[in-house]
Every structure is written in structure tokens, then in C-alpha cells.
């Protein structure tokens, strides 16, 4: 039985533990918050055995096998490092780091303290994502010429202002939503990156909206993301033989495949919910003594972070080549 500890007890953690209840070889063992009262309330609601008023206390508990880190973005790196050094298996929410430097730092620590570490990049663990991978690898779409990604959400101004989203270092649309777009782009492109056009709506140092058009090798890639626009979420991948439109970029379960004028709808429902795929995969890896995921290896986390870094660096009037 794998005993889980939760670091951070917000809304995402609540959804996570509800899904965790469906994993037969796991139990919610402990939860930690900045205050013991909040941790105890979470523990009482979701039947955790232990409640801790600090994250350090949870990591010191020898009975915790794995931790799920669901703190604001700026804390993912440091608590990944602390958990790794404490000998815990780590599942950390996206983005795993706010830049490539942080991911590289985690990679170095893992060399000295080898444990299972994985970024919870939700779409990659869905059946649809993996089916699309197989279709493209077998050549059904031909050579990939274009990939368009968009993930917009409409957050209330007060929500943005009173949350991590308004932090100029680890807030904004690009890190919060754009990382989902980036994981699709990095999966299906390779080669030299050139930013062709970028449009950014900045407020107090963080981006409310970012639109980027770029070439990666011979592929045209577009990333659009916003936290102040009407909801829009899709991926369109075009190849020399056909195209596929994914209808929900970060929680994909349905797509439209078009080849030679014929349209096929592909439906791949969740086994439980949008969290269960990552949980089940992580547990399977841990049970089998693995320290890396073939679905979401740390190299993929690094590639996503590097793309986001390049976009942030390119928030200037001139295109750049990398």
C-alpha cells in the first residue's frame, strides 16, 4: 500500500484525493498546510490519518511513501528538491518549475538522490493523447506542417489579483495555461526555434494574454493563452496527409480526424476522471521500482520549460533565433 502525503490543500488537492480514492493500492495518509487547523480540516474531510501544520513535518514522517505537491508555481521547485532529499517519490503539479534552470536543478538533485519524480502534465496521461501519438508515429497525418494550440480562460479580476496568477515572477497566463499548450508543441516539433510574432497583454509584470507564432524546424507552431478571455481550448495538428482537431486541450477525450475529406470522431473517455490517469501511472511506476516515466520523463518537462523560457525572452519587438 502506497501512503500518500499532500503538500498544499487547495481546490486541486481536493480533486486529486477524490480521484486517489479509486486507486486500490494507495491511501491518503497525510496532508500538510501552512496552518495545522487547515490541514486538520482537510484530513477530517478526506479521511487522512495525519495532519501537519508545516510541509517539513510531513517530509520527516517515515511512513510517507509519495508526495503530491500542489502549491503555487513558485514553490514547486524548492519542495520537489526537499521531498527528493527526504527520499519521497514526487508527483508535482504543472509547471514543475518556473524555468528551465529549475528543472535542470531537479535533474541534478535526482542524480544524487534517485527517486521517482514526475510532473503531473495532465493531457499526456489520457488515452486520447497516447492514441494521437500512435497515429502520428505511424504516419497517418504524414509530415507535421502546423500545430495550433489555444487555452483561454476567463478569470474574474478579483481572482487574478488575489492569487498567484498576479505574481510577476511565477504568475500569468503563460505559466498557468500556456504550459499545456507547450507540451503539445514540444511533442510534435523539433529543430531550430524562430519566434515570428508575439503579442502580449501585460499588467503589473505578468501576462494576461500571450499569443505567439513561431517556426520550430519546418513546422509552424502557434501558442495562444489567456486568463482574461472567453474560454477556448483546442489543438489543431496539420500534416501532409490529414489533420486532427483535439477539442479540449488540457483534458482531451475527443478529437476529429480528417484524412482525404473523410472525418472520423475519436472518443476516449476517462477511466475515472482527468486525474486518475496520472495517479494510476505514477503508482504503477512506483510499484515496479521505476524512477522515470516513459509518458512524462523529466526531459519532456525540460523541453516544455525551455520553450516557455524562449517565449518569455522573446517579449521584445524583434524575432529571435535559438
Q: What are phi and psi of 5, to 5 degrees?
A: -120, 135
Can you give the residue ranges of every domain in the chain? 2-121+276-293, 124-272+303-313
Query: What is the model's pLDDT at position 137?
Result: 96
Contacts of 118 (CB under 8 A, 6+ apart): 90, 91, 92, 278, 282, 285, 292, 293, 296, 298
pLDDT at 315: 80
Q: Answer for the pair 89, 284: CB distance below 8 angstroms, yes or no.
A: no
Q: Kindly report, residue by residue over 161-209, the tens digit of the pLDDT.
A: 999 999 999 999 999 999 999 999 999 999 999 999 999 999 999 999 9
The average pLDDT across 9-23 equals 97
Give residue 314's pLDDT. Answer: 87
Cell 503563460 belongs to 174
- Mean pLDDT for the chain? 96
Strands across the sheet containing 26-32? 50-52, 26-32, 2-7, 66-69, 89-93, 117-120
- CATH number attached to the domain at 2-121+276-293: 3.40.50.720
Closest CA to 214 of 147, 151, 150: 147
124-272+303-313 belongs to which CATH class? alpha beta
Query: Mind listing the pLDDT tens digit for each residue in 291-301?
Result: 999 999 999 99
Q: How confident is the model at residue 320 (pLDDT cuts 50, 70, 90)?
A: very low
**Digit-coded pLDDT (tens) for 203-252:** 999 999 999 999 999 999 999 999 999 999 999 999 999 999 999 999 99
Nearby residues of 13 by Cβ (< 8 Å), 6 or more positions away: 6, 31, 42, 68, 70
Q: Are the C-beta atoms of residues 154 and 176 closer than 8 Å to each other?
A: no
Q: What is the pLDDT of residues 102-129, one digit of tens each?
A: 999 999 999 999 999 999 999 999 999 9
Q: In this predicted model, what pLDDT tens digit does every residue of 134-161 receive, in sequence order?
A: 999 999 999 999 999 999 999 999 999 9
Amino acid at each position: 500500500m502506497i501512503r500518500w502525503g499532500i503538500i498544499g490543500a487547495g481546490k486541486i488537492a481536493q480533486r486529486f484525493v477524490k480521484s486517489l480514492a479509486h486507486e486500490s493500492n494507495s491511501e491518503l495518509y497525510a496532508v500538510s498546510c501552512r496552518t495545522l487547523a487547515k490541514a486538520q480540516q482537510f484530513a477530517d474531510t478526506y479521511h487522512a490519518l495525519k495532519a501537519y501544520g508545516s510541509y517539513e513535518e510531513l517530509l520527516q514522517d517515515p511512513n510517507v511513501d509519495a508526495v503530491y505537491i500542489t502549491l503555487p508555481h513558485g514553490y514547486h521547485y524548492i519542495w520537489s528538491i526537499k521531498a527528493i532529499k527526504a527520499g519521497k517519490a514526487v508527483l508535482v503539479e504543472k509547471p514543475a518549475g518556473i524555468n528551465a534552470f529549475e528543472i535542470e536543478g531537479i535533474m541534478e538533485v535526482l542524480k544524487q538522490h534517485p527517486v521517482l519524480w514526475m510532473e503531473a502534465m495532465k493531457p499526456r496521461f489520457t488515452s486520447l493523447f497516447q492514441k494521437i501519438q500512435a497515429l502520428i508515429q505511424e504516419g497517418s497525418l504524414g509530415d507535421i506542417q502546423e500545430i495550433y494550440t489555444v487555452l483561454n480562460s476567463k478569470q474574474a479580476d478579483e481572482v487574478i489579483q488575489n492569487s498567484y496568477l498576479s505574481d510577476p515572477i511565477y504568475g500569468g497566463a503563460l505559466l498557468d495555461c500556456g504550459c499545456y499548450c507547450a507540451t503539445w508543441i514540444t511533442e510534435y516539433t523539433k529543430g531550430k526555434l524562430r519566434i515570428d510574432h508575439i503579442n502580449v497583454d501585460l499588467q503589473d509584470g505578468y501576462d494576461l494574454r500571450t499569443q505567439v507564432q513561431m517556426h520550430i524546424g519546418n513546422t509552424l507552431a502557434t501558442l495562444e493563452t489567456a486568463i482574461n478571455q472567453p474560454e477556448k481550448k483546442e489543438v489543431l495538428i496539420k500534416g501532409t496527409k490529414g489533420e486532427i482537431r483535439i477539442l479540449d486541450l488540457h483534458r482531451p477525450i475527443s478529437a476529429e480526424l480528417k484524412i482525404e475529406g473523410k472525418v472520423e470522431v475519436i472518443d476516449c473517455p476517462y477511466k475515472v476522471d482527468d486525474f486518475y490517469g496520472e495517479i494510476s501511472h505514477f503508482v504503477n511506476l512506483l510499484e515496479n521500482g521505476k524512477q522515470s516515466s516513459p509518458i512524462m520523463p523529466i526531459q519532456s518537462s525540460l523541453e516544455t520549460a525551455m520553450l516557455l523560457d524562449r517565449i518569455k525572452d522573446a517579449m521584445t519587438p524583434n524575432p529571435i533565433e535559438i
